[in-house]
Amino acid sequence: MSKDSHPHMRSFGRIKSRPIKPRQAALMDSLLPKVRCPETPFDPRALAPAATEVWLEIGFGGGEHMAAQAARRPDVLILGAEPFQNGVASALRHMDEQGLANVRLHDGDVRDLIARLPAACLQRVFILFPDPWPKARHHKRRLLQAELVEDLARVLAAGGRLRFATDWADYADWSLARLLASPHFDWPAARADDWRIPPADHITTRYEEKRLGDCAPVFLDFIRR
């Protein structure tokens, strides 16, 4: 596990639940050190000079979406950040089974990773179904705060895209308000179907199919000005 530290309030809960399966535990020892993002400032292009774009998935869960996108776009380098060790282990399994060479992982808080990235180095960012922290007293723990919006604006190139998805109505409203308040992002949605219907390139995960929230999934796609 990465030993990052930062002044921000923790936006995630536990970092481990059930015991990690032996095969995945072995990958944590053998594969993770090879695909872990550098722990000092770095340019992601240096990790994959032939990549046409660099994407970031924040909180990739079990890694299904990230792995599927990486398989679909082998020309893209995908950075994935996830503090939950079981999720990291699951992602490593997907990478190993599919032979994915275009994924790099950060097993910790994404804000530490973003701080190491140069400006305008990303073309896409995914934040899919993050912890909603539904109780009002916990809203300060939600990931998508104004500070993170600013950080994402710094690392996204002009024309880059940010996708936020949630199945909690209040979190959708919360996130939309913060992104609309930013001078760095445009929301091109023109009708309800633009956020109610999954985007054509979206990949549904098992978590999404469980419908644990209080509304149908909402997809908010923004463009960096």
**Residue whose tokens read 């109780």:** 135
Mean pLDDT of 21-35: 96
Q: Which domains does the chain have, with CATH numbers?
A: 22-224 (3.40.50.150)
Q: Is position 131 annotated as part of the catalytic site? A: yes
Give the CA dihedral 49, 53, 59, 64, nearest 10 degrees. Answer: -90
Distance of CA 159 to the CA centre of its chain: 18
Mean pLDDT of 96-116: 97
pLDDT grade, residue 25 (50/70/90)? Answer: very high
Q: How many CB atoms lie within 10 A of CB 32?
A: 18
Rounded Cα gap, residues 109 and 102, in angstroms: 21
Give 165's strand partners. 128, 219
Per-residue pLDDT tens for 108-164? Answer: 999 999 999 999 999 999 999 999 988 888 789 899 999 999 999 999 999 999 999
When comparing pLDDT for 30 and 15, which is higher? 30
pLDDT score, position 7: 54
Mean pLDDT for the chain? Answer: 92
Q: How many CB atoms lie within 10 A of CB 169?
A: 14
pLDDT score, position 17: 58
Q: What angle do CA 37, 99, 16 make, to 5 degrees?
A: 55
DSSP secondary structure string, 142-191? -S--HHHHHHHHHHEEEEEEEEEEES-HHHHHHHHHHHHT-TTEE----S
* CA-to-CA separations, 131 to 20, 77, 140, in angstroms, rounded: 21, 25, 12
Provide the residue type at 199 as one letter.
P
Per-residue pLDDT tens for 160-217? Answer: 999 999 999 999 999 999 999 999 999 999 999 999 999 999 999 888 888 889 999 9
pLDDT score, position 92: 98
Which residue among the candidates 131, 170, 194, 221 is catalytic per the annotation? 131
Going across the sheet that includes 76-81, the strands are 103-106, 76-81, 53-58, 122-128, 156-166, 218-224, 185-186
pLDDT score, position 133: 82
